[in-house]
A = this chain, B = another copy of it.
Amino acid sequence: MTMIQTVAGFFSKNRQIMLYGVSLAMLLFLLKWLELRFLVINHIVEIYTGVLALIFTGLGIWLAVKLIKPEVKTVIVEKEVRVMSDGNFSVNEAEMSRFGLSKRELEVLELIAAGLSNQDIASRLFVSLNTVKTHSSRLFEKLEVKSRTQAVEKAKRLSLIR
């Protein structure tokens, strides 16, 4: 902020200026009134000065409090966000050979795990339904399971598929 802008900003705060003027006027009236009644003439200047000092010191403090910008402190908090394990690791080659699944059987297994029906898999692989059944039966034997759901469960558990 430049000095020009500071000055402009100060004067743009009209309410403060108004308040300032009104306060001053009222004070002068009060002083005049007091002068006529109670205060002794030979101390009027000191009293006047003291009152002015107090008032304008207070005004200055009030202005400063209003104008000073709060210091901004930025705190960076690390927030843990759990994400799916990104599956970048490949399928378990060791377990792969252990069950002796053929390439085609593994392919069928993956499609079964994706939730496809045998007919869907047949269409996808351009083979007959019977072929898919044969493959699935054989891979069930090799995995020692009795249904496609068990096969998927075991295959995922052993990371044969992701």
Contact = CB atoms under 8 A, between A and B. Distances in A.
Copies of this chain in its oligomeric complex? 2
Contact of A68 (B52, B64, B148): B64
Interface SS of A by simple majority? helix
B19 A3 contact: yes
A130 interface: no
A16 B85 contact: no
A77 B74 contact: yes
A152 B58 CA distance: 73
A102 interface: no
A150 interface: yes
Interface string A97-129: 000000000000000111111000000000000
Nearest to A115: B150
Chain A interface residue count: which class? 35 or more
A145 B114 CA distance: 12
Contacts of A59: 53, 56-57, 60
A152 B81 CA distance: 25
A117 to B, nearest CB: 6
A124 to B, nearest CB: 14
14 contacts: A3-B19, A53-B56, A57-B59, A60-B61, A60-B64, A65-B68, A68-B71, A70-B70, A70-B73, A71-B73, A74-B77, A82-B83, A152-B152, A152-B153
